[in-house]
Chains A and B, each alone.
Chain A
Amino acid sequence: MILVIAEHLEGKLNRASWEAVAAAQQTGEPVKIAALGAAVAGVAAELAAADAAEVIVVEHPALAAYTADGYVQALAALVTAEAPAAVFLPHTYQTRDFAPALAARLGRALLTDCLGVKADGGGRLFVRPMFQGKLHADVRPLGPSPHLVTFQIGAYRADAAARGAAPAPVRTIAGAVDPAAVRQKAEAPFQEAKQAVDLSQAERIVSIGRGIKGQEHIQVAEKLAAALGAELAASRPICDAGWLPMERQIGSSGQTVAPKLYVALGISGAIQHLVGMKGSQVIVAINKDPDAPIFEVADFGIVGDLFEVVPALVAALNG
């Protein structure tokens, strides 16, 4: 049996949970899905639509708001009681926060950010990106089971999760949480002040990455943006360095966009960037490294130095 840990924020199921369910179902093993919280009947009912042996609701007032300590306590008890063959989770920010501590407390291996599963004799290998996605590794978890595995967002399709003929049975158990041992106190999530630029409406976007080298070179990209009638955007390091405001950042911690045309200049294509732009209709990548993962999502590409290619593009557009 594979135990999937679902994620929700204040009663709203995170779609990535379905991706982890799909990954678990595709192993061919029976699947159970767990959801933690104080009042998660709605989430449980939604999850019960899955083709699963059971949905387990772990309830405790101390689980009303997510905390790492609360989740680790409740899940350590649950995993010990259920003794699954493996535990699958989506590789979300929340999973990053508690899963390593859970694995350490259980003394079990944790493989993170996995892209797929391969058969390995009687066992399994997990494919995970390394070196910023430039290489992939087939990895064998060692030590006693259950091994914990997190799956990269988008590695499996949420709509590939099989639905059951009838709703799966839902079992509610009391979470084994000692509120006195929960050391973190979480305040309510919030968004920073309303963003002035809404890139999600842009028809065309020229986006710059670390290949732009310095703030003084941004005008190279600005000229291309002007010639294309495009908005300017960036990868995270550009905004971290303060070269462009944070509100122009594309990716998991920035904006998600889907313009008609997305031109990536000197962007390597790390997954945290790709999730914010891979829905674009046409993607163009200009990068001097032919192995850059951005070419994995690009429709058109030029392998070359952006400082030569971009001025040539501006000339071609204006000519």
Chain B
Amino acid sequence: MKIAVCVKQVVSREWQLRVDESNTWIRDQDASYELNEPDAYALEEALRLKERHGGEVVVCSAGPARVSQVVREALARGADRALLVEDDRLVGADAFATASALAAALKDERCDLVLTGLQSDDSGFAQTGVVLAETLGLPHATIIMEVQVADGALRVKRELEGGWFQWIAMPMPAVLTIQSGINQLRYATLKGIMAAKKKDVKKVAAPDLAPQHEIVRLYFPEKAKATRLIDGAPADAAKELVRLLRDEARVIS
């Protein structure tokens, strides 16, 4: 089975966000980056499917040159090779532009399965995987928490709201968007990191990208609710909080 996994590089959670001079994107020159969290779960699921059914795992990422970092990480965790659509215009690109870049890399690969994360931590479109499915002419299912493959067909467990689930059956090839928590992640070993250095990373040219949206202004939201912030050293702040909860809010005795 040939499985592609789309992985996005996003600014790391610990990095302090700042808005750039244009007020349309973040000041990311000195940012630290990481693998988008659901994509790590998608990669892990692909590696497990390969262990069960044999085949190959191909990672695919679109973005500026720096995204080779997450590609290397995916290779170190066990992916076999990589496709990289390198183009600076992909920074902050909308889901259609991103999906067409990914489709350009994947269209001739004839994968049995394409996995993406359900949503990116930076743009948060929750679209790219589904648009990619439509672009490639493949069926899809989203927010997936279990993948079963038998006789060339798929049965996947889709998460619904509030603790409900649903099984969906589908032919392959197909695109699935993977939810965090579908499996337990493995991390790269030293051996994996060494092996990754020899793995093939193929660069693919980005197609023409017609933007579907324009960010006019990016900003920290104005606070709508007045939170009573308690200052001071931890011990003093703690005492004051306990007093407020007891005497004013009356939610503890």
Contact = CB atoms under 8 A, between A and B. Distances in A.
A228 interface: yes
Counting chain B CB atoms within 10 Å of each CB, the highest count among A120, A132, A255 belongs to A132
Given A237-B37, A309-B237, 8 more contacts: A97-B142, A101-B140, A120-B216, A135-B19, A135-B218, A184-B169, A187-B169, A315-B238
Given A104-B135, A143-B210, A304 B216 contact: no
Nearest to B182: A240
B187 interface: no
Contacts of B230: 300-302
Contact of B224 (A135, A139, A296): A296
13 contacts: A72-B134, A100-B134, A104-B99, A109-B94, A112-B124, A112-B127, A131-B11, A135-B218, A189-B164, A191-B164, A291-B220, A300-B244, A302-B237
Interface in A268-319: 281-282, 284-285, 291, 293, 295-305, 308-309, 312-313, 315-317
Contact of B227 (A103, A191, A298): A298
Contact of A299 (B134, B158, B228, B235): B228
A252 B160 CA distance: 9
Interface string A212-253: 000000000000000011000000110111100000000011
Contacts of B11: 131
Nearest to A16: B161
Nearest to B181: A240
B170 A253 contact: no
Mostly, the A contact residues are: mixed
A315 B162 CA distance: 36
Contacts of A113: 124, 126
Contacts of B141: 68, 97, 184
A112 B171 CA distance: 28
Contact of B125 (A112, A131, A241, A256): A112
Contacts of B124: 112-113, 128-132
Given A97-B141, A134-B17, A190 B164 contact: yes
A191 B163 contact: yes
Contact of A187 (B167, B217, B229): B167
Closest 4 CB pairs of A and B: A240-B181, A312-B238, A100-B130, A183-B139
B82 interface: no
A282 B251 contact: yes
A74 interface: no
Interface of A: 67-69, 72, 92-93, 96-101, 103-105, 109-113, 120, 125, 128-132, 134-143, 183-192, 195, 204, 210, 228-229, 236-237, 239-242, 252-256, 260-261, 281-282, 284-285, 291, 293, 295-305, 308-309, 312-313, 315-317
A195 B212 CA distance: 44
Contacts of A316: 235, 238-239, 241-242
Contacts of B94: 109
A319 to B, nearest CB: 8
B242 A296 contact: no
Interface in B34-93: 37
A109 B213 contact: yes
B216 A125 contact: yes
A33 B216 CA distance: 30
A261 B251 contact: yes
A315 B143 contact: no
B245 A300 contact: yes
B191 interface: no
Interface in B218-238: 218-221, 223-225, 227-230, 234-235, 237-238
B130 to A, nearest CB: 4
A312 B237 contact: yes
A253 B163 contact: yes
A301 B227 contact: yes
B22 interface: no
B180 A309 contact: no
B214 interface: yes
Given A96-B142, A103-B131, A302 B165 contact: no
B95 interface: yes
Contacts of A137: 215-219
B96 to A, nearest CB: 7
B168 A189 contact: no
Nearest to B252: A228
B180 A138 contact: no
A138 B11 CA distance: 20
A256 B163 CA distance: 10
B242 A317 contact: yes
A239 B165 contact: no
Nearest to A285: B227
Contacts of A295: 223, 227, 229
A138 B217 contact: yes
Nearest to A262: B251
A184 B217 contact: no
B159 interface: yes
Given A296-B221, A313-B238, A93 B214 contact: no
